[in-house]
Amino acid sequence: MNRYYETIIILTPVLSEEEIKNFYLEYKNYLTDNNVKIIKKEKWGMKKLSYEIKKKLNGFFYLFFYKSNPIIIKPLNNKLLQDERILRFLTVKINKYGVKYLLKNKNNKKYEKK
């Protein structure tokens, strides 16, 4: 039974644009290789953090919204934990109301970020 999940990732701000692109491609390929359907991805860019994380005050934010088998989530989280480029991440299962809202706004240009 596939479920909807959302993962937000905060990368360290010292990465170059090329390293950020490689990070994105690496995780996108990892997800697609494990039969995960990526529905929406957003690159939020560099943001100021509310509090210091690993002596960093800024972070580069990425968001993935996808449909996956629940058994993929634990290996994905383990892979994210081992990656030194990541300051923090959070994976959340989306309920039916959140899915309905996100799918409704998926094609809305106002909310779409690349």
Render 35-73 in DSSP notation, one character per residue. Answer: T-EEEEEEEEEEEEEEEEETTEEEEEEEEEEEEE-GGGH
Q: pTM, whole model, 2 decimals?
A: 0.82
% of the chain at pLDDT higher than 70 = 92
pLDDT band, very low/low/confident/very high, at 102 (cuts 50, 70, 90): confident
Q: Is the pLDDT of residue 62 over 70?
A: yes
pLDDT score for 110: 52
Structure tokens at 10: 């905060």
pLDDT band, very low/low/confident/very high, at 114 (cuts 50, 70, 90): very low
pLDDT score for 7: 93
Q: What is the mean pLDDT of residues 20-39?
A: 90
pLDDT score for 113: 47
Spatial separation of the C-alpha atoms in residues 68 and 75, rounded to whole Å: 12
